[in-house]
Structure 1
């Protein structure tokens, strides 16, 4: 084959390649990188604050930590320390609220948040208006994309986007967010995480487990045992598909939604172990790693 023929074929190949890319400009970003498959039965620890004296437990398989704080310090970051200890790392961030202490809080435009949509129990936090399509596409999603980029670049194996059940918090969101708005947004979060090679957990949002079980790799739940029969909804969804469910129960003074330590040990743990839920019990609601009891220690 002469030089002219080779050049012509090469030129044709390049033209076809460029044409294909132009016809499908999303082809490079829609490819899902291999990600962590999160099995049932892992031992986890959930700590989102107070990292000064953080200790790595050799018996814990998975750590769920704050994306922003745990990624600080580059090679000296908490995420890097955990990865060096062969731990799987889930990185937490809020995907449904603006937290005024975050470094990117000022990036949210006014229309991206719900007017008078403050969270009653969490000062400085306000619900995002994911029903506002313009704000969602042009402001909220780009901010969340940057957070997912940070998670991937920092070495997170997975992400735990919080506050993805805005439609159930009617007192604070005033009915602005519909179930379909939430479903579309949560599926977008899943796709965006998977495109970056990140596994993703569905936080609470129990009313949409059936619709979202195939989109998410694991689930994170709070207080399903204390609220009665709620845990059973994971048995036929995530657990039936071999996907991990990470649970945490709490106790302060015995109010609704709480169980005490003895109940956790004597009753809850036997249930959790029988169905395959990885559970923790916490004295108080501060996720600081203090006063935590596991079903296996």
Structure 2
């Protein structure tokens, strides 16, 4: 029999060392996980964790709460308060996705938008573009959408379709109209205790990064546009990035190199995901 430290068998020593190492790793991971703000407070994004977030984006299908992700981007209408409570009990940060520049005829609040604020219909989605210049007309509806997020336990909101000036919206929207609208929405989110995030709208990232806490991006690697998101990454703010094609071993080298949290998803944004490894 081989004898280890203190006269104990070597096998026993190895078991003790392995158990000690495992305990040390658990303690280290727990110590590195940022505390989640209490319900009713906006989500915080500690700079020290910017490069290590794991995230999930699910808008369709049955929600899978068991996904090993720190951050979930979800639909505030289909997601229930019970589901958000369950996720928060597991220290998950929750982002609700709100369409701020468009409305779908099936949305429960669609009738609240005045006719003069409704423009062209987007190809493929059936969504109707809004006249973002009419702040007094659209603000009450969007404020209530944000309150729905807050009421269900979300601590952050990401603005979708916040780029109507680049689309055939039916209105003569320009860069400055959109910039003012997006900044107003970021301020509105903060006033309702939500952390604001920006989805897309890459041409305005340099101007808007100071107003937002994080960004969500689709396919910046495939489109060779990841450098446009550096104002967020350089400021220590999370960039949650997704690719819909390719293998993670290829695009992760680029996106993680930029400091982004990256995953591969189906375009339907169901529960399936493949995550890039954290740095």
TM-score, normalising length from structure 1?
A: 0.75
Correspondences of 1:1-297 after superposition (within 5 Å): 35-38=42-45, 39=47, 40-41=50-51, 42-51=53-62, 54-57=64-67, 59-70=68-79, 72=80, 74=81, 76=82, 78-114=83-119, 117-123=120-126, 125-131=127-133, 133=134, 136-137=135-136, 139-169=137-167, 172-174=168-170, 176-228=172-224, 230-235=225-230, 237-251=231-245, 260-261=246-247, 265-283=248-266, 285-290=267-272, 292-296=273-277
Deviation for aligned residue 1:293? 1.4
Separation in 2 of the partners of 1:175 and 1:196? 29
Structure 2: 5+ residue runs without aligned partners?
1-39
> Following TM superposition, by how much is the alpha carbon of 1:167 offset from its aligned partner in structure 2, in angstroms?
0.7
- Provide the rounded CA distance (Å) in 1 between the counterparts of 2:78 and 2:72: 14
- 2-structure distance, mates of 1:44, 1:50: 17
Q: How far apart are 1:174 and its partner, in Å?
A: 4.4
Separation in 1, partners of 2:41, 2:234: 22
Tell me the alpha carbon deviations over residues 123-150 of structure 1, each in whole angstroms, 9 at most, x when there is no partner.
2x1111113x3xx31x210000111111
Alignment partners' CA distance in 2, 1:150 and 1:80 = 14
Q: For residues 174 and 286 of structure 1, what CA distance do their matches in structure 2 show? A: 27
1:35-91: CA deviation from partner (whole Å, max 9, x where unpaired): 32324121100001212x52422x310000001111x3x4x2x22221122110000
Q: Is the 8 A contact 2:58 2:74 kept in 1?
A: yes
Count of aligned pairs between the two proteins: 235
3-state SS of the aligned residue for 1:68? coil
TM-score by length of 2: 0.80
In 1, the alpha carbon distance for the partners of 2:72 and 2:255 equals 19
Give runs of ≥4 in structure 1 deviating > 3 Å: none
Q: C-alpha distance in 2, partners of 1:245/1:293?
A: 17
**Whole-Å separation in 2 of the counterparts to 1:250 and 1:204:** 15
Contact 2:221 2:254 in 1 (8 A): no
Paired position in structure 1 for 2:24 = none
Does structure 1 conserve the Cα–Cα contact (< 8 Å) formed by 2:131 and 2:171?
no
- SS of the residue aligned with 2:186? helix
Paired with 1:165 and 1:111, the residues of 2 have a C-alpha distance of: 19
